[in-house]
Structures are given as C-alpha cells and as structure tokens.
Amino acid sequence: MIGSAFGRLAAAHGHELVAYTRSPQGTSLDWAREIRPIDTKADLPLDAWGLDLLVHLAGESILGLWTAAKKQRIHDSRVDLTQRIVRCLAEPSPRPRALISASGVGFYGSRGNEVLTETSQPGLDFLASVCIEWEAAAHRAEQLGLRVVTLRTGLVLAKEGGLLPLMSTAFGFALGGRLGKGKHWMPWIHLQDEARLILWAVENEGVSGPVNLSAPNPATNAEFTTQLARAMHRPAIFHVPELLLKQLPGGFGSMILGSQRALPEKALAGGFQFDHPDLAPTLQGLLAA
C-alpha cells in the first residue's frame, strides 16, 4: 500500500521507477518503468544494477497474534532481509547513492506521555529490539558510501488498507470504542503525507539517519476513538479492557496499548509541510462517501 502510493507520487514528480515483486509475471504497475523479481529467501535477493537509489519498505505485517513463528517472521523479514539487500548494493558499478529503508515508531517502545523525536533513546520491548537491529542492518550501507535514511513510520491512515478499515468496520456495527484506558498515544499519518515524506527523503541529499513519519499532532487512543466516531456518525460506547488485551499471546496486546508520542522534528526543521496535520479533518476526508 505504501509502496504503491510512493511509486505513483514519485513517477508524477518525474522519477523513473523500478518495482520489485515476488511475482513479476502478470504484474502490471502503471507507475513503474520496469518490474524486477525479488527472492526474499536468496542470499542476494535482488538485482540493484542501474539504480540511483533504493527505497526498501518490505516487512511482515505486525498485525495478528504474536506466536513464536509470527515474531520470528517479523524479525527475519526486517533484519535478515535488510542485511542481504545491503549486500546486493555492493554489486553494481556505480553503486546506488542512497538507501531509504523502512523502520517504525516501535523503535521507541512504550513511553507514556514523553515527547519522542529522532534523538530519543530506543525502547526495550520486542518491537524496539527489532527496529534497533533493522536500522543497524540498513546503516551497514554507509560502509559502501551510501546515504542512509531510516523511516520510523507511525500508524498509516488510508482507505486502501491498514488500521483504519479494521477500526471503521467495528464502528460501523456500533462496536467501536477505546482500548484500555485510552491514554496511550497513537502517532498517526495520512498515506499521502507518508508518500510525500518518503519522496522528501529521496530528493533531499542532506537528509540522513532516522526520520519520524508521523503527523505533527498525535492523538491519544481516546481522542482517536472520539474523532472516528464523529466522522462515522456512530457511537463509541464499547471499550476493550486493558487486562483482556494483555492476555493476547507474545506481547501483542501490550504492543496495541503501547504509547509513542512521536513528533516529526527532523521533517519540520527541514521545511516539510504536512497536507494532513490534524486528525479530525483527516478522518472526515478519508471516510467521506
């Protein structure tokens, strides 16, 4: 979802794009000049010849019950794959100039009301440990002379997929409500701004290191719930007890209740202007018929 939004935007800005897919036969993307295969199990997963820059967004979804096997896939699809992709970047001559690699606000762990910027220290939980290793794997490309940016993405709001359709379905049946006490912060971002920020990182050679991809006005879960209910003209009378969520296996429930009050300090300092800085109009626009 994010890759396609970015691809369309980058193509509209005059960039030529190569798309990688595990099923190149029969795949058609109107924004891609070329489609190449990627083998996520191979030692050298992709052909990086001819690229000026690589945007790497792959990773197992964190949604779903966190069984031991699920958590291993979350780790390996981020850390191990990134390590092998970096090895691919050493092959071409000349090499690509930059690697723009996904990461997540999970880097910070659950931090209550603490304001989190790109200089904040990492957390200690499972997702934080994965993000630490993930970013370290990407930064190995610096040894090859590449500029490296790690995209600490928040909750991406879109009609096409992700969190919003799941929540709006529940609210549509009048089953929506806050999670736990609703005090945990949700660092959200509109899909359009997500794609624009990735393109901003691509086009600005002075940008490197971590970048928070989240709107400048994060919301608590209670605030998010209220605004979503208003946008859908539905009640929000139910809530899921914190104790019940914490019983979910593998720490998934604790992740749902995790609080990251992340702010996009680096993007704002670099002059980036969000098209969707506020939650209420963002939800109203996305949920409009």
Residues 6 or more apart whose Cβ sits within 8 Å of residue 128: 106, 107, 108, 109, 122
- Dihedral (Cα; 241, 242, 248, 252), 10-degree rounding: 130
What is the CATH T-level fold of the domain 2-287, as seen in this structure? Rossmann fold (3.40.50)
pLDDT tens sequence across 127-137: 999 999 999 99
pLDDT tens sequence across 242-286: 888 788 878 888 888 899 999 999 999 999 999 999 999 999 999
Residue 135 to residue 142: CA distance in whole angstroms: 12
Backbone φ/ψ region at 115: left (φ over 0), alpha (ψ -120 to 50), beta: beta
Q: Which helix (H) or strand (E) holds 253?
A: helix 252-256
pLDDT tens sequence across 187-201: 999 999 999 999 999
**Of 192, 246, 218, which is closest to residue 105 (Cα–Cα)?**
218
pLDDT at position 144 over 90: yes
* pLDDT band at 173; cut points 50, 70, 90: low
pLDDT tens sequence across 7-63: 999 999 999 999 999 888 878 899 999 999 999 999 999 999 999 999 999 999 998
Three-class secondary structure of residue 146 per DSSP: coil
- Give this prediction's pTM: 0.94
